[in-house]
Structure 1
């Protein structure tokens, strides 16, 4: 598949894709769309920012438009990603689409979801937790749902959704088409694919190809105590929208407040925010009311904001795969982006793990030859050697001085002892003479 004209699509869908400037498919789209339209199960490895939503979204919409009795379920790990997937699918379907849909996510009004479900939607997008809630309440039926998409499956497993996914799939027909997408394909994903997929087409887009060409990555090695000052310096020199990633929820709030005091337009997003506030924060960031979004990893998956020029990893992620998802927020749809990482001495092992992931084919060998040094390194080494030599000489001189002082002290003590001894001897003789 070289372009979308090669596909046999409903006329309405073809027109919609043209209006969305869908002409040349991305690698994941070129491989996944024809296979999925042909009814094949898919096991796909691809990160966000590759056009993955359209890769499963176009076949999904084709299926629903061609068969009025079909219905589809898309599961994602987070509320943000579910909301954005729904928006993208509705855009692909078009304004005049007959497809009814329901968004089932936590933090959203359940009464609103009841109203959507009563209209018998053929498209359901949601998170495992809320979908399970509706199944238990019997407000959702999946017995005729024959198209399933599991998006960012590795993330769902990391978040502990494996049991809920199994429960949900028991409510679905065994004969269905399943598309499973994951950033990486660890053993657990392979095991799940054997249980849920039938003779899947395996598709992989290399992570190195994704992260390196369009995203300029830079490292800043710094002591922990200097990190904030360096961040301020970087922010002052950056233009455009920025996401700063932190390790904890509390640190996002604290950092956003500090940056605001410094005169930057910043806001925070984390898992503690209510859904309506999260939506408001993201909306304001999209509208460029805020230039800086301080976030935890909850926002690294699913954010689809085209104008993010910079991603700053203030804290490195605990999971190496999350690094790819974080920097995937910039350089969207072929645009150039910038990713910056602060690395403290305690981050060395974390960065090595990330480096192995994004540069899987590069083995670092120990070179027995003496490495060539730059002028700066030579200058540094010379001064370092000189400093060590001076320190050593100073230490030796101090010891020598101490020894001299010691000898002098011993000599003085001996002189005093001899003087006292002579004095006592003289006194003894004088006393003896007095008694004779």
Structure 2
């Protein structure tokens, strides 16, 4: 068992203290011997709730995979892996998912020798079948958002996967909604059930709820006017269909808004670009299907806008759970067309939200303060955050105050820089080297 200074980890993550759910999860996982089911609302910190005790349960001296974390999608795999790496505990990890060559992942697995692997069911099965991951030393399995995994049709793949883990000692399941029944294949033994869900409250009391009436069936003009009133705050606009996301995103861009489009039909790089732009403040609006309602760890989202009304209460819970995370406040807006009615499960003090007339002067689109640069070198090229800061300052003529969040991946990096300075940076870095290596520097649009 690894000795971990929890206070130092929390300090690195910028968290003052653990909430009650996280404290009880840690106690059950560390001190108990039972399997554990954690039911807690979206945004309550379930990723940290299992990672903090897990890193203390693993043998950091080993070079074997000791824990698998099953997730429903690549975004959650990547973000959970990022959280563990940012904790700085010395526990190695890797994210594995479809959309890229399994052979490349195998090569990284051999190099990194991770203790924890985060992955989607199909890709984890692939690595286990090929012997890229040795199941013999895997003691712990975590199924994050297990209800979503089942909804997405992963039952057979998860059943096959768990059946290969013959030396499992404990199982940990986490969800933001209460699944009626845990499938038999999970083989839960004596179980501690931690239920922090609040009955009959799909929207928590830190979220203000507003109704916005659209005079037309096509709500685009109403959406645009609503966004104008919200200024430079961060908003997610939820729609039910991919083509609707594309159409709405195109309309908003023509109106001058800086947006990110996000749905399951995009290429991996496009999805990563969209999320990164939104999370670092380079775009103020994320236009998305319900794919963005789960597994996105973006702490400061001010507004949730339902362009299409949610089809189920669960969909509503997960959408609204993107805002008012931890102890923050948030707002959610339902845009209601002339022939639409709010679903019965939307309850609470719903206020009418009045939009200014189109002729009102002085109301313009608020542009983001930052822009995102793609830099075509990363960790495998021995590039660090410090190298990028030095490159942008020395070659791009920036001050440190002009630079925001930087994320360095294996083969590329993202950097947020001041919008006012971005054209200067692109001009001055053209053809320049970073640590003696030529690289591509592009604006993420």
Q: By how many angstroms is 1:213 displaced?
A: 2.1
1:213 to 205, 222, 233: 205
The answer to whether structure 1 residue 233 and structure 2 residue 225 are counterparts is yes
TM-score by length of 2: 0.72
2:46 maps to: 52
Query: Could you tell me how far apart the structure 1 residues matched to 2:201 and 2:12 are?
Result: 28
Comparing 76-85 with 206-215, which one deviates more in the overlay? Answer: 206-215
Contact 1:143/1:172 (<8 A) preserved: yes
2:133 to 133, 137, 140: 140
Deviations 1:282-324 (A, max 9, x none): 1111222211110011121111112211110111223321211
Would the alpha carbon gap of residues 352 and 202 (structure 1) be closer, same or farther in structure 2, given more than 3 Å must change? same
The answer to whether structure 1 residue 297 and structure 2 residue 279 are counterparts is no
Would the alpha carbon gap of residues 44 and 11 (structure 1) be closer, same or farther in structure 2, given more than 3 Å must change? closer
The answer to whether structure 1 residue 322 and structure 2 residue 349 are counterparts is no
More strand by share: 2
1:124 maps to: 117
2:434 maps to: none
- Output the aligned Cα RMSD: 2.5
2:301 maps to: 308
Query: Could you tell me how far apart the structure 1 residues matched to 2:193 and 2:339 are?
Result: 38
Contact 2:211/2:333 (<8 A) preserved: yes
Query: Could you tell me how far apart the structure 2 residues matched to 1:108 and 1:217 are?
Result: 40
Contact 1:128/1:164 (<8 A) preserved: yes
Describe how 1:94-109 pairs up with structure 2 within 5 A. Answer: 94=88, 97-109=89-101
Would the alpha carbon gap of residues 70 and 104 (structure 1) be closer, same or farther in structure 2, given more than 3 Å must change? closer
Q: By how many angstroms is 1:66 displaced?
A: 6.7
Describe how 1:30-109 pairs up with structure 2 within 5 A. Answer: 30-38=23-31, 39-65=33-59, 68=62, 71-92=66-87, 94=88, 97-109=89-101
1:252 to 245, 248, 261: 245
- SS of 2:181's equivalent in the other structure is helix
Query: Could you tell me how far apart the structure 2 residues matched to 1:137 and 1:318 are?
Result: 40
Q: By how many angstroms is 1:18 displaced?
A: 3.1
Contact 1:64/1:70 (<8 A) preserved: no
2:187 to 196, 207, 227: 196
Deviations 1:19-76 (A, max 9, x none): 3344422132022110011233111111321011111010111111577467111111
Contact 2:140/2:170 (<8 A) preserved: yes
| Structure number with larger C-alpha Rg | 1
Query: Could you tell me how far apart the structure 2 residues matched to 1:297 and 1:163 are?
Result: 23
Contact 1:27/1:205 (<8 A) preserved: no
Contact 1:222/1:344 (<8 A) preserved: yes
2:275 maps to: 282
Query: Could you tell me how far apart the structure 2 residues matched to 1:134 and 1:9 are?
Result: 27
- SS of 1:143's equivalent in the other structure is helix
Deviations 1:347-387 (A, max 9, x none): 54x711454xxx7xx9xxxxxxxxxxxxxxxxxxxxxxxxx
Query: Could you tell me how far apart the structure 2 residues matched to 1:143 and 1:183 are?
Result: 31
TM-score by length of 1: 0.73
- SS of 1:139's equivalent in the other structure is coil
Q: By how many angstroms is 1:11 displaced?
A: 4.5
More helix by share: 1
Query: Could you tell me how far apart the structure 1 residues matched to 2:60 and 2:281 are?
Result: 40
| Alignment size in residue pairs | 344
Describe how 1:318-397 pairs up with structure 2 within 5 A. Answer: 318-344=311-337, 347-348=340-341, 351-355=343-347
